[in-house]
Amino acid sequence: MSLDSPSTNQSSLEQVSSNQRLLKESKQHAYFVTGTDTEVGKTFVSCALLAACHDAGLSTAAYKPVSAGCDVTQAGLRNEDALALQQASNTALSYDEVNPIAFAEPIAPHLACAKLMAKGQGAPIELDAITKGYAALSEKKSDVLLVEGAGGWRLPLGQNSQGHEQFLSDFAVGQKLPVILVVGMRLGCINHALLTAQAIEQDGLNIAGWVANILEPEMPFLDENIQSLEHLLDAPLIARVPRAPSPSAVKECVNLSLLGVEKA
């Protein structure tokens, strides 16, 4: 089945109505969006997913619990992912609700945190704070809530105040969130995708769906790579996203009904 944008208006209307029917029948859908690496399109794809939900008449919220790489503004640190997610959600959210933990430097967050603490500033990243922020967003009762990770699946958060090593994946595990895996299609992505999927499943979570994000349209044997991943990943391909000027330009590539099968 082609997951590219429906060829006729009729089929896209059918798609919308089936999305609407399916997701409307269930309670909140919360997903953790991870990727095969940093810069593979987690934010771009998340915004496209949110736009597809809006077309299906669904309310949405988004969460970027930990960010690194921010502009320093009068209102405080501002991360472009978090701003994009805030903008792409149709539930009114404050910046701090979307992104409670932000570091200025575009480096691994645990290193940015350690650097601040070495200067006597900041505090260890606590999973509790991430969980609290998530609970507050869940209370908004949006139909769909997307949580974007940072980097890849096993993102270190550093030690908590009790000296225990933490990872952002621990949060997803704690909340039993189904995972959406964004695969940046480029040579080498098959290994990264399979290793990430293995880690997610060994952590006890379910991959609700995966997205082929076509970062390099000129990738040799692109279709065959996607077909290999369809064969090797035990999860539905919910979108094949081409390079596009904006996430909303590819919202019709998303097959929400496939995602909906993961509803609780």
Ligand X SMILES: Nc1ncnc2c1ncn2[C@@H]1O[C@H](COP(=O)(O)OP(=O)(O)OP(=O)(O)O)[C@@H](O)[C@H]1O
Window 134-163: contact mask with ligand X (x via CB under 6 A):
----------------xx------------
Query: Is 48 one of the annotated binding-site residues?
Result: no
Q: Which of the residues 23 through 52 are near Mg ion (CB under 5 A)? A: 42-43
Give yes or no for residue 69 binding ligand DNN (CB under 6 A): yes
Query: Is 64 an annotated catalytic residue?
Result: yes
Residue 158 Cβ, how far from ligand DNN at the closest point, in Å? 12
Window 79-108: contact mask with Mg ion (x via CB under 5 A):
--x---------------------------
As a three-state string, the secondary structure of the chain is CCCCCCCCHHHHHHHHHHHHHHHHCCCCEEEEEEECCCCCCHHHHHHHHHHHHHHCCCCEEEECCEEECEEEECCEEEEHHHHHHHHHCCCCCCHHHHCCEEECCCCCHHHHHHHHHHCCCCCCCCHHHHHHHHHHHHCCCCCEEEEECCCCCCCEEEECCCCCEEEHHHHHHHCCCCEEEEEECCCCHHHHHHHHHHHHHHCCCCEEEEEEECCCCCCCCHHHHHHHHHHHCCCCEEEEECCCCCHHHHHHHECHHHHHCCCC
From the candidates 24, 27, 64, 119, which is the catalytic residue?
Answer: 64
Q: Which residue is nearest to ligand DNN (CB)?
A: 151
Question: Among 65, 100, 133, 151, which residue sits at the site for ligand DNN (rule: CB under 6 A)?
Answer: 151
Give yes or no for residue 41 binding ligand DNN (CB under 6 A): no
Q: Which is nearer to ligand X, 40 or 83 (CB)?
A: 40
How many binding residues for Mg ion (CB under 5 A)? 3
**Interface residues with ligand DNN (CB under 6 A)?**
38, 68-69, 106, 108, 150-152, 155
Q: Which residues are annotated as a binding site?
A: 39-44, 81, 148-151
